[in-house]
């Protein structure tokens, strides 16, 4: 998996820099010497400036990506998702009983128009499950816990048409690996 390898190389590079800094400090402080107050203040001011710029830059870069403004939007579609050992029931109508859940697992995959903001209302009728939505190219798009007695919401804007998969993200028993669901995103 290329992403994992990239993360590994990044880890090795950062580790090498950290070790280099430790070695440099160890070698450069073997003899005591006077640093000088003015020079030390200059280094501190510079360090503070770089740190502040980095933090503010990081803030400006990441804050627009927070999902909170999405809560103010009205979803285009609501999908009810119920986990039970060992399948996901997905329906555009509320699933309130194990019978309705069973019918939903045998029904044709639901269809969602491309570009819709979808709100998944996720719960479980037995034990805790993990509700993970995968794109047609098998990328994990979002995840929320499915807990008996609670309804957790997950909002995703689904733009790419194709078959989407729901896999269980939490080991829930012997048939956990079989626990999947699917739905279609269709072109408008």
Which residues does residue 165 pair with via DSSP β-bridges, in sequence order? Answer: 134, 182
Q: 168, 181, 183, 185: which one contacts Cu ion (CB under 5 A)?
A: 168
Looking at beta carbons only, is 123 or 185 nearer to Cu ion? Answer: 123
Does residue 129 interact with Cu ion by CB under 5 A? yes
User: 85 with 44: CB under 8 angstroms?
Assistant: no
Q: What are the tokens at 64?
A: 């627009």
With tokens 């809560």, the residue in question is: 71
How far from each other are the two terminal CA atoms of the chain, in whole angstroms? 33
Looking at beta carbons only, is 151 or 160 nearer to Cu ion? Answer: 151
- Backbone Cα Rg of the chain: 25
Looking at beta carbons only, is 166 or 168 nearer to Cu ion? Answer: 168
Stretch that binds Cu ion, among 11-19, 71-79, 100-108, 126-134 (CB under 5 A): 126-134
Give CA–CA dist 177/38, Å, rounded.
Answer: 64
Looking at beta carbons only, is 156 or 179 nearer to Cu ion? Answer: 179
CB of 63 to Cu ion, least distance (A): 34
Q: Which residues bind Cu ion (CB under 5 A)?
A: 129, 168, 172, 179
């Amino acid at each position: 998996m290329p992403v994992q390898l990239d993360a590994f190389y990044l880890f090795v590079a950062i580790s090498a820099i950290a070790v280099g800094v430790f070695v440099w400090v160890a070698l450069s402080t073997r003899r005591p010497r006077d640093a000088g107050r003015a020079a030390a203040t200059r280094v501190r001011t510079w360090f503070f400036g770089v740190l502040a710029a980095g933090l503010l830059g990081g803030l400006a870069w990441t804050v627009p990506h927070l999902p909170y403004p999405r809560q103010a939007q009205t979803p285009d579609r609501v999908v009810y998702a119920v986990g039970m050992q060992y399948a996901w029931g997905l329906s555009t109508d509320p699933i309130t009983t194990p019978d309705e859940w069973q019918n939903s697992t045998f029904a044709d995959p639901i269809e969602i128009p491309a570009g819709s903001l979808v709100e998944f209302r996720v719960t479980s009728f037995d034990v805790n499950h993990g509700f993970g939505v995968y794109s047609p190219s098998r990328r994990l798009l979002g995840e929320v816990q499915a807990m008996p007695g609670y309804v957790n919401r997950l909002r995703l804007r689904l733009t790419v048409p194709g078959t989407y998969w729901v896999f269980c993200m939490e080991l829930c028993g012997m048939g956990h690996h079989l626990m999947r669901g699917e739905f279609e995103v269709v072109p408008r």
